[in-house]
Structure 1
Amino acid sequence: MAFHGAGRQTVCGDLFPGSDLGHKFFCVGSSCGGPSAGLGAAPGLTGPSAPAGTPRHPTALGGGAGGGAAVPQPYSNPASEVPSPAEMEPDRPIGYGAFGVVWSVTDPRDGRKVALKKMPNVFQNLVSCKRVFRELRMLCFFKHDNVLSALDILQPPQIDCFEEIYVITELMQSDLHKVIVSPQPLTTDHIKVFLYQILRGLKYLHSAGILHRDIKPGNLLVNSNCLLKICDFGLARVEEPDPSRHMTQEVVTQYYRAPEVLMGCRHYGSAIDVWSVGCIFAELLGRRILFQAQSPIQQLDLITDLLGTPPLSALASACEGARAHILRGPHKPPSLSVLYMLSDGATHEAVHLLCRMLVFDPAKRISGGDALSHPYLDEGRLRYHTCMCRCCYSVAGGRVYTRDFEPAAERPFSHSYENSLLSVWQGKELIHRFITEHQQGKRVPLCINPQSAAFKTFIR
């Protein structure tokens, strides 16, 4: 099954219906009668360069020197894709979360279909202020094809009236959860290219020192051409190098929560994201949640049913209650062979990689970068870089491949600014200044139309 560019059948076919996008939500300039709110230009989305040494090149996996026939990019610049009047349907909400609401809208400046995320109640308390500022800075920091980033931020009003933040990101058609529970067939090709992109984005995040802390199918956005982006950084934070510093356990949706977090470990690292990816990998193979429990204790029991009773060394950082619960129970042998029963796609290579991700002890769990070197992902890498990525390109003689297939971040994400956040008002000033400076020298201001029926629904 091939991955193609525009005008050809994609690997997923028509996975999703066309997006209902509208043009009534915004107006350019101040003609809408409300206060002008400007938007900045979209930054480039090309991935940053990184040290060499990535896994095997597509030409070593069966492709020719040019990598095959020239293929159009599956998503040429979306700014040039101006919808026809028939496609201009009313703006609508596409997602709700604990920290905001997302709407699909159309930028009237270029007809580009985008997602508008509203972050309400930013300045209720200092914790909320820090969380939102961290997420906002991360969205502006990211430059990777498999990680969602900010295209624009709505200019804020005067600081006394500044209560909400509006961020524009690329609009994706669906998410991996909806694909998994749908009747859409998922072949081995789908699974490999999805898993490759998840790990490719995760390697980038971890190289920047960022823990996502809520990797789950609903936070993996996908298009019908199988392009995937990691999103929702509301729980993300910078990795804590000091093991004596306590970190919250109120992270990760339970079904994808790593055992060290379930056992009350006060300090954890990037391995918790890899565990989540392992759970998603199994879910893609079996089309059902691997560990679906009613409580964290039952979740831990389901994990030990599969992996067996962990050794004492893996319980060193567990809280007393969790350690006692495991030790007073009967000894369980591993039953990893049941993973072969997930589906016909659960081959020896697939199960081997899955078992490297689903390791009880985080110190022995494979890293995202090392997982990308597993032979199971060779075909996913080949398919992605043959016609889906933007780091490689086609010429008349064939395909020109990048020298670095899985780039790391150019620099670590800095969170030193948080040290100066000591009050809500100070946080409001810093965020206001950050957005204002981010917008300087950018495009024609874009306003939300306050007379729009869609906007009146949006602000509720």
Structure 2
Amino acid sequence: MKRKSLGMGGQFDDWEVGEDYECVKILGQGSYGAVCSAIHKPSGKKMAIKKMDGVFEDEVDCKRILREINLLRKLQHPYVISVFDVIEPKSHETFDTVYLVLELAESDLKKVIKSAIHLQIKHIQTVVYNLLCAVKYLHSANVIHRDLKPANVLVNEDCSVKICDFGLARSITGVESASMLLNGRKFNKDDEETKAEEAEHDVILQGTEIAKIHYKDNLNQDHEDATMNQMNELKLDELGKPKSEEEKKKEISKKLIRSKDARKNMKRELTGHVVTRWYRAPELILLEKDYGPAIDMWSVGCIFAELLGMMKESAPTYLDRKPLFPGKSCFPLSPDKHAKEERKGFPFSKNDQLAVIFEVIGSPLEEDKSFVTDQKALEYLEAFPARPKTDLHQLYPGAGDEALDLLNRILVFNPYFRITVEEALSHAFFKKVRKPEKEVNSEVQIQIEFEKEHLDRKKLRQLFLEEIQFYKTQKQNAAAHQH
């Protein structure tokens, strides 16, 4: 039934949301369609309805929408948005609009950053901690979000968060990864059973086996002590002495260099053009075939930096706030067509995404580049002028040593040296807000069954109807229990 919204100038005339929902107000619009707030009439609950038009026009977009619905049905965590319903269309044969009914949050971080409010460090600790708890859950389920940015982190007044928009997310269950090569394991391509078994045990991707590498700059004595304690817990080497951070780093670097050819020849199982440019990790910019959960950690670091930018000491007014890495182009996916300069045969612009990143984190050293498999990418990196690391205290004067130490460990060029989600959660910055009971792992390794199938429109339509049927059955069962 087309529902007219009284007094809204008929803006919901073409929203076919059925009898159970009443649309209230448009909350946002984008390339995917629109989101409105709504009332679920039987329960009186406030909801959000995401309307996606013309879903079968483009098969790539269609698969994204289907992937999002499929993943959200399987992901169950208080900090991941939950789907309440997928509204059944009038015609199963001809529908081309999908309505996703989601829980409603008060705002998102993009709106919060653009607002006039200032944040204190305790707010930032809570929001980032909650975000990391959500990311830990996703990664333990073998899901990489791949598009974490402020607009995709919904937030409530109590600083609880809900990660949303899983259109670019991927399940990495069963994806061959470089960390397996580094551990000396190689798949026997013919042995599917071994492959499945190995994948089950080992799809701990990039960044999870990283030695605790800590950067000494700006560390106060407390950090030095904490670092020593952690180092003492590291495995002892052959001589029975703990390995230093630098030794660990060199060891990983050597393994990366030795496994270069094998990593280079890995099948590309994950696509490259993901994550909004400003939040895109270096390994994605350099089109590495093998990337893992470390890309989400980089995005979390960029969001964390923007929240630190909301402290009064960081920016006098909200108009002075800006993202940490606001690149205007991103070679080779979206190069600057008007670049005036060429360096080593590459168009060079100081607004290029990597140039903007190196202005802050400094130019990568040789061992930092050890993960890069593509010769062209290595030549491209050579084209950047040497840059020293920026002291983050200058950018975020009120943030304090602990916050900046954590940020320094997240924004690391080499994904194998980047801090993992578990390491981040146990960082001293969160000691006042940490609640280990919130740091739950998923009990299941999530898989998207249709990911590797060729899907024509008929099959896609059938898969949407299966998702819709799941919620319909759920409602019928709930109604039966009530009677």
Matched, 1:245 2:267: yes
Q: 5 Å matches for 1:296-375? A: 296-297=330-331, 298-315=352-369, 316-317=371-372, 319-335=374-390, 337=391, 339-375=392-428
Cα distance change, pair 35–104 in 1 and its aligned pair in 2 (3 A)? closer
Q: Residue 205 of structure 1: CA displacement?
A: 0.8
Distance 1:183 1:422, change over 3 A: closer
CA contact (8 A) 1:39 1:154 kept: no
User: In the aligned structure 2, how far is the partner of 1:404 from the partner of 1:192?
Assistant: 17
1:182 to 80, 99, 115: 115
Given that 1:123 and 1:163 are in contact with CA atoms closer than 8 Å, whether structure 2 keeps it comes out as yes
Residue number in structure 2 paired with 1:223: 156
| Partner residue, 2:468 | 435
Residue 319 of structure 1: CA displacement? 4.0
Q: Is the 8 A contact 1:141 1:149 kept in 2?
A: no
Q: Report what 1:392 is aligned to.
A: none
The one-letter amino acid paired with 1:438 is Y
SS at match of 2:133: helix
- Code of the aligned partner of 2:431: D
Shift of 1:184: 0.8
What 5-or-longer segments of structure 2 have no aligned partner? 7-12, 178-265, 311-321, 332-351
**Residue 190 of structure 1, CA deviation:** 0.7
| Residue 38 of structure 1, CA deviation | 7.7
Cα distance between partner residues in 2 of 1:211 and 1:255: 18
Which residue in 2 is equivalent to 1:70? none
Deviation readout 1:247-293 (Å, 9 max, x if unpaired): 32211111111111112222211111100111111111123311112
1:120 and 2:53 matched: yes
Is contact 1:39–1:442 with CA below 8 Å preserved after alignment?
A: no
* Paired position in structure 2 for 1:290: 324
Partner of 1:130: 63
Residue identity matched to 1:323: L
Q: In the aligned structure 1, how far is the partner of 2:395 from the partner of 2:42?
A: 48
Count of aligned positions: 348
Identity of aligned residues (%): 37
Give the 3 Å change call, closer, same or farther, for CA 138–318 of structure 1 in structure 2.
Answer: same
Q: Does 1:148 align with 2:70?
A: no
* 1:157–1:419 Cα change, 3 Å: farther
CA RMSD of aligned residues (A): 2.9
Deviation per residue, 1:332-377 (Å, 9 max, x gap)? 3333x2x112334321111111111001000111111221111111
Kindly provide the amino acid, as one letter, of the partner of residue 257 in structure 1.
R
Q: Give TM-score, length-normalised by structure 2.
A: 0.66
Q: Say whether the 8 Å CA contact 1:149–1:169 is kept in structure 2.
A: yes
Distance 1:207 1:159, change over 3 A: same
- Secondary structure at 1:381 match in 2: coil
Residues 131/38 of structure 1: CA separation in 2 closer, same or farther (3 Å cut): farther
Which ranges of structure 1 fall in alignment gaps of 5 or more residues? 1-21, 26-31, 41-87, 383-402, 447-460
Q: TM-score, normalising length from structure 1?
A: 0.70
Q: Does 1:406 align with 2:444?
A: no
- Per-residue CA deviation, residues 87-110 of structure 1 (Å, 9 max, x unaligned), is x9x722111233231111111112
For residues 152-163 of structure 1, what are the structure 2 equivalents within 5 Å? Answer: 152-163=85-96
State the shift of 1:155 in Å: 1.6
AA in 2 matched with 1:282: A
Q: Of 95, 103, 122, which residue of structure 2 is paired with 1:170?
A: 103
Q: Counterpart of 2:301?
A: 278
Query: What is the distance in 1 between the residues matched to 2:161 and 2:415?
Result: 26
Name the aligned partner's letter for residue 368 of structure 1. V
Kindly indicate whether structure 1 or structure 2 has the higher relative contact order, using CA contacts under 8 Å at least 6 residues apart.
1
Superposed CA offset, 1:372-430 (max 9, x none): 11111122225xxxxxxxxxxxxxxxxxxxx7321111101111233445321012112
1:245 maps to amino acid: K
Query: What secondary structure does 1:418 align onto?
Result: coil
Return closer, same or farther for 1:259/1:215 CA change in 2, 3 Å cut-off: same
Looking at structure 2, the residues matched to 325 and 434 of structure 1 have their Cα atoms a distance apart, in angstroms, of 45
Change beyond 3 A, Cα 1:36–1:356: closer
Deviation for aligned residue 1:228: 1.1
SS in 1 for 2:437: coil
Q: Does 2:125 align with 1:92?
A: no
